[in-house]
Amino acid sequence: MKDQSSKTLSSTQRAVRELRRMIVSGELAAGTDHLESELAQTLGMSRTPVREAALMLESRGLLEMRPRKGVRILPVSSEDMREIYDILTELESLAAQRAAEAGYSEQDLKVLERSIAQMDQAIETENLEAWAEADELFHQELVRLGRNHRIEAIVAMMSDQVRRARATTLFIRPLPVQSNEDHRAVLRAIQEGKANEARERHRQHRLQAKEVLCGILEKHRLNSL
């Protein structure tokens, strides 16, 4: 049994998790307004923990609290996407560099290897959801290996903000074949301790991903996801 399920978590914590889930899944649609009292009723608790949760999610850039109008689920534009991908590019590249400098063993890099294998398989079977999940895992693990807690937090926050948009573009974009070659190259650089190569390779990988995704958004006029 997991720590989470064994421990009784507070209403505020439940509200944060549940609202976050509803937002990133699109259950609470981008651009929609929701009164605190509505959300409280939905979650089966009073306004107090809902407000506290909303404040936290506001800090994470997922929603906005506006007096009398309720909380507004923030939509993501292609401009937002560019901002976010720029940040991810810089911080993840540094993580890749640091990971390469750390001299990790093959054992330490097992999760990275596994996620790449999963992506390979997902591409073969054209299972896009599985690919997205493995891709997320790769990037998350890469950042973890960079050993900077604040970067982990920031990247997680930015990833949450673009999750809906990513899910949408997933079925429009071409099969991410190039992407996995990049992942392999980054991993190889880390294995060989080539910090600068790991950094630059990942950098290029992210820059390209940005152009692909933002290109799709702009082409399809998807400016509020």
Partner DNA sequence: GCATTCTTTAACGTATACGCAAATAAATGC
Partner DNA sequence: GCATTTATTTGCGTATACGTTAAAGAATGC
Task: Report the partner that residue 59 touches, choosing among DNA, a copy of itself, none (CB closer than 5 to 8 A by kind).
Answer: a copy of itself
Instruction: Write out the binding residues for a copy of itself, residues 122-151 only, by CB under 8 A.
Output: 148-151
Task: Report the partner that residue 56 touches, choosing among a copy of itself, DNA, none (CB closer than 5 to 8 A by kind).
Answer: a copy of itself
Measured between alpha carbons, how far is 39 from 177 in angstroms, rounded to an integer? 41
CB of 55 to a copy of itself, least distance (A): 5
User: Is residue 221 a contact point for a copy of itself (CB under 8 A)?
Assistant: no
Interface residue with a copy of itself among 11, 42, 43, 60 (CB under 8 A) is 60
Residue 47's CB is within 10 A of a number of other CB atoms, namely 14
Interface residue with a copy of itself among 35, 87, 137, 212 (CB under 8 A) is 87
User: Is residue 56 a contact point for DNA (CB under 7 A)?
Assistant: no
User: Is residue 102 a contact point for a copy of itself (CB under 8 A)?
Assistant: no
Q: Given phi > 0 = left and psi -120 to 50 = alpha, else beta, which region is 65?
A: beta
CB of 50 to DNA, least distance (A): 8
Q: Given phi > 0 = left and psi -120 to 50 = alpha, else beta, which region is 156?
A: alpha
- The one-character DSSP state at 173 is S
Task: Report the partner that residue 47 touches, choosing among a copy of itself, DNA, none (CB closer than 5 to 8 A by kind).
Answer: DNA
Return the structure tokens found at 91.
């911080």
CA quadruple 39, 57, 86, 156: dihedral sign: negative
Binding to DNA by CB under 7 A, coded x per residue (else -) over 4-43, reads ------xxx----------------------xxx------
Q: How far is CA 166 from CA 38, 44, 49, 133, 185, in A?
A: 28, 31, 30, 11, 23
